[in-house]
Amino acid sequence: MKKFIIFLIIIIGLYQSCYMEEISFNPLNDDDYKLTLMLKFDHQACSYDHRNNTLRYSLPNNSRSEYTPYVEFQKCSSVSYNGIELQNKNNNNLGDIEYNKNYEIVLRANGQTKVLNLMFTDLPIIQIITPNRIVNEPKVPAVMKIISPEENNTVEHVVGIKYRGRTTLALPKKSMGFSLRNPTNYNQNISNSILDLRINNDWILDAVYKDKSNSRSTVSYKVWEEITQQSKLSIHSQFVELFINNEHQGLYCLREKYNGEFFSLSNYNSVLYKSISFYAGATTFDTYLENESLTSEWNGWEHIYPDPERELNWGPLQNLSYVIVVSDSSHFCSNISSTINISEYIDFYIFLYVSSADDCIGKNTILLKEHEGKFQFIPWDLDPTWGLYWDGSRIDHCHLFSDRLFDKLMALNPDNFRARLKSRWFELRAETLTEENIKTLFINNFSFLNNSNIIDIDNDIWGTQINLSDEQEFIFYWTKNRLTFLDNYFNNL
């Protein structure tokens, strides 16, 4: 491993000055974590897809007029752009640039000729370079290049990367999780910001395969943030184009990840759990199991913080489960408001109802309890929302759901729960949960995606039939009817 790290450091350090004597079109040069140079503009490499002989370059909108980049390509070669010979290691005027337009690139060297299509995009590009096959476990070493249209340089990280998810592992387009590693010590995790998102060690590349709008999760987290008025409780994200070696993977969404670092947890009396399965009804609080686990998983829950390899603390979750499942009505009403934050739980359930996020009941719920604080409920995995079921099918706008905690709060009404729930709904409906506000959030996402031809590329790569206009029409129709339905529901509480 030490030899690998030393070699990896050398490659990263020499990448900018390493040139081939002749053009090679191999996807990857053996095991050296370095791609063949095709073409660079302003010291940033164009990303190459060898299957379709295409190049992609990330360019901000304000740079498209009379674009005159510093151009670099391999020695002993010549390159033409739309019939114009380019000067190596010089500024070249490429004229006005259009997105979604093919520009012909011809590369020649030693009797070889390669004709490529170059297209410009305003999306950031992430390129994963690795000779290793990415699998579910373990994470494999890779170099990750982050190419942002707003930056003048390419940021590189050493990472450990793997496929992530459970049921989604069977899908052709897979989500990935990666952690940042110390370039001088691969076994040591480090933390950093990527594309202006918040500093963390662990990150997610979401394939967004089942959600044909590619926007439900991003909009959902924005709505959740507007409801709670707490940025620290909501995931931020960034659409990107993803390449693995020299293969374009299409559209992905780089997302932050809920973990102890995300919530700035430092006291081991704080806990963070995630529901991952419907084991014996424990995650819907239908059953109570006494025996605590000696592992990182218990009764359908995953122990996230403290680090389960160092310390396990299932006690707070067991106490919460006891109050909900075992205690009689009197004990429940006397203790539930000191165990969970009722106001924040109301916001949680209103969010679940307005977005129809029923996949967060018994699964995909984050439980956070900071030191000496109360439990907070936080939603996770929000692709199946706004009329979309977990399997990718569409559902009607009249769908309701609950778990035992919600049912007991409604039935026993501690601290005037029903009236507070009703009042909070109509308070949010006045400004945050308006039809116009929700539509605007989706429109902003659709407009951003439509600036590039990435949806067409995604359809071509994965054999999908994504149509953002159809998705927008359905989401707007569903949301309008959902809000009317919920107005009637809450009005009758």
Mean pLDDT of 242-262: 97
Stated pTM of the model = 0.91
- Please check whether residue 486 is in contact with residue 441, taking contact to mean a CB–CB distance below 8 angstroms: no
pLDDT at 20: 39
| Mean pLDDT, range 9-20, rounded to an integer | 39
Q: What is the mean pLDDT of residues 36-57?
A: 93
Give the model confidence (pLDDT) of 294-324 as tens digits: 899 999 999 999 999 999 999 999 999 999 9
Which pLDDT belongs to residue 10?
A: 38
Burial track 402-412 (b if 16+ CB lie within 10 A, e otherwise): bbbbbebbeee
| Structural tokens at position 98 | 């259009």
Cα distances (angstroms) measured from residue 118 to each of 20, 104, 113 = 21, 6, 16
Q: How confident is the model at residue 17 (pLDDT cuts 50, 70, 90)?
A: very low
* pLDDT tens by residue, 59-81: 998 899 999 999 999 888 899 99
> Under a CB-based contact definition with an 8 Å cutoff, are residues 454 and 123 in contact?
yes
Give dist(CA 210, CA 389) in Å, integer: 9
Which pLDDT belongs to residue 6? 43
State the amino acid at position 301 in one-letter form.
W
> Please, which residues bridge with residue 162 across strands?
177
Whether the predicted pLDDT of 7 surpasses 80: no
**How many Cβ atoms sit within 10 Å of the Cβ of residue 308?**
17
- Give the containing element (helix H, strand E) for 423: helix 417-431
**Residue 59 near residue 69, CB atoms below 8 Å:** no
pLDDT over 80 (residue 13): no
Mean pLDDT estimate for the chain? 91
More confident residue, 27 or 404: 404
Q: What is the pLDDT of residues 410-468, one digit of tens each?
A: 999 999 999 999 999 999 999 999 999 999 999 999 999 998 899 999 999 999 999 99
Strand 54-58 relative to strand 47-49, pairing:
antiparallel
CA distance 196 to 200: 11
pLDDT at 26: 45
